[in-house]
Amino acid sequence: MTNTYFTALAAYNSWANAKAISWLEHISETQWKQINASSFSSVQQTAVHIASAEQIWIDFWTKAPEPVYLSSYFQGSKQELIAIWQKASVGMQRFIENCDNLAELVTFVYPNGRVGRMPYCQTFAHIMNHSTYHRGQLVTLLRQAGFSQFSSIDLATYFITSASCTSQ
């Protein structure tokens, strides 16, 4: 795995997040908070989880003194969450673009307090997979809430339609 590959994945993640965020901007407050069966009970809670996870990994990578899971305290509006999520997407891209040691060990803390360590490249792969997984759940929750104006957020679609369609 190379920095070029991870940079392309970070760009994909920002692209997919932007599409998902655009869906959120078109739903009502009722759809935003509608309770459904999934890993998280609503579009709102799923979006908070994705943004929280992306932000906490940036905090771990940058060795923030007191990283805090956004999901443990966030009570803001949809627009406030969208702003946080957009900032996290950009932050992930900037971090990987400037990362010069993919093998560096990252220390992190799970929400339950357990401490873990993995090489940066593995944590980056994890958060890309994590966000993709939960964006898929977001699609299901949005469909259950009556939203249907989707566009593809598939990685292949990104590579085909973007300038990033170069050999990795």
How much is the pLDDT for 164?
56
Q: What structural domains and CATH numbers belong to the chain?
A: 3-27+38-161 (1.20.120.450)
Evaluated on CA atoms 158, 163, 166, 168, the torsion sign reads negative
> Tens digit of pLDDT per residue, the chain (168 long)?
678 888 999 999 999 999 999 999 999 999 999 999 889 999 999 999 999 999 999 999 999 998 989 999 999 999 999 999 999 999 999 999 998 888 899 999 998 999 999 999 999 999 999 999 999 999 999 999 999 999 999 999 999 998 655 544
How much is the pLDDT for 1?
60
Give the whole-angstrom CA distance, residue 86 versus residue 6. Answer: 18
pTM for the whole structure: 0.91
